Structure formats: C-alpha cells, structure tokens
Chains A and B, each alone.
Chain A
Amino acid sequence: AQKVTQAQTEISVVEKEDVTLDCVYETRDTTYYLFWYKQPPSGELVFLIRRNSFDEQNEISGRYSWNFQKSTSSFNFTITASQVVDSAVYFCALSGQVMNTGFQKLVFGTGTRLLVSP
C-alpha cells in the first residue's frame, strides 16, 4: 500500500526566512508520481508540482524548489524568502495503483501548516 508521511504538523517562520517542508513516501510501484498541493485559508486545493519517479532532477519555480531523492524516498519542498501569502497548509501526495485495475489514485499526506508572520 502507498503511504505519505509529513512529519511536520506546523511550522512558523518570519517573513524572508527559508523553509523546507518534508515529505517521505512508501510505495512498491516502480512507476509513480509525486505531487505537492497548497491549501490557502480560503480552502481550495491548488496544484503546485508533479514529478514522476524516473526524473530525479530538482526543480525550481521562482521562490519554490523541490528536492526529489529516490534513495531516501523523499520529496521535499523549499520556499525561499517566505512571504505572508505563503501561509497555507501544504500537502504532499503520491499516486498509487488501484489494485488490479491499472488505474492510479492520489494518496495524500496529513499536511503541514505553514505560518509566515510579518
């Protein structure tokens, strides 16, 4: 079975600090996908990134960067120079096989609440 662990329940930082959100996953699939979603106070879930298991290159998008390490089954997310608008709950997710169907479904971690204060 697939599992995603986000050990950090809540993180508080001051604006302009860098912050890393940890994500560790478990899967027996050889091909899988990893995702990060953001849930701001307004409640919607916003897609941030998708990464497949064959691509271990780190990715940077503006102040956001992601570090995928297959050897440690981790897919960590770093926000550089955090801003108040980054305050949200961040979810890591893993695609997992629906048994005997060939379809895949998303399994979410429990989320990390990030609070950025001015």
Chain B
Amino acid sequence: DAGVIQSPRHEVTEMGQEVTLRCKPISGHNSLFWYRQTMMRGLELLIYFNNNVPIDDSGMPEDRFSAKMPNASFSTLKIQPSEPRDSAVYFCASSPYGQGNTEAFFGQGTRLTVV
C-alpha cells in the first residue's frame, strides 16, 4: 500500500501567486482531511470530505482557501492569492470511515513557504 501521497513535498511561492496542493488518499478510504500545521496554532483541521462531499469546512481560514475532491482518489487544496501567513506544513489524511472508530493515515505533508 502506497499510503497517502501528497505533492509537492515543498513549495516556495511569491505572495499573490496561486498555490495548489494535491493529495491521493489510500484506495478504499472514504474520508479525507486537510490539516495545516504551524508553530503558533498547531494542527488545525481545514476541511473534511466523506465520499467526496465536504462535511465540515469550518476550519478553512478565509475565501482565499478552497478545496475540491472531484473523485475518490484525488483532492486539491488551493490558495489564491497566497500570503506569507499561509506558510505552514499542509497535511492530507485519509480514513476508511470518519475518524472516530479508526485512525487517520497521514501523508508526508507539503511544506509551503510564501515569500
């Protein structure tokens, strides 16, 4: 099993540019999560999809952030326009059912630096 695959692993972009982060969940998992990790705020859940449908997007910081899951094997997190305060590690995780009765499997993360 390849695990959760995120790309790119590192992204450096200039303020104002559009950034797209990608995630391929583990095959067969029906839940997908995007998290952001910063020193100040720790691990924050941004959005949660179940069966490709957004269940909870209350953690999405503002309208500059958007996430899609067009099919069960792919999701994107887009930031447009990016700002320096968006610099963080973004994790994607998947789970076979919700997150309650089974663990979430995390990708290796995308380290985003906005200069």
Contact = CB atoms under 8 A, between A and B. Distances in A.
Nearest to A31: B100
Interface stretch (B68-76, B78-86, B102-110): B102-110
A52 to B, nearest CB: 7
Interface in A93-118: 95, 98, 101, 103-111
B50 A105 contact: no
A68 B77 CA distance: 36
Interface stretch (A18-26, A41-49, A80-88): A41-49
Interface of B: 31, 33, 42-43, 45, 48, 50, 55-56, 89, 91, 93, 98-109, 111
A39 B109 CA distance: 12
Given A106-B45, A108-B43, A110-B42, A47 B104 contact: yes
Interface of A: 31-33, 35, 37, 43-47, 50, 52, 91, 95, 98, 101, 103-111
Contacts of B31: 103
Contacts of A110: 42
A44 B109 contact: yes
A44 B93 CA distance: 11
Is the contact region of chain A dominated by helix, strand, or loop, or is it mixed? strand
A39 to B, nearest CB: 9
A2 B89 CA distance: 23
Given A32-B100, A33-B101, A110-B42, A44 B56 contact: no
Contacts of B50: 103
A91 B35 CA distance: 14
Contacts of B104: 47, 106
A105 B45 contact: yes
B48 A105 contact: yes
Nearest to A45: B106
B48 to A, nearest CB: 5
Contacts of B99: 33, 95, 104-106
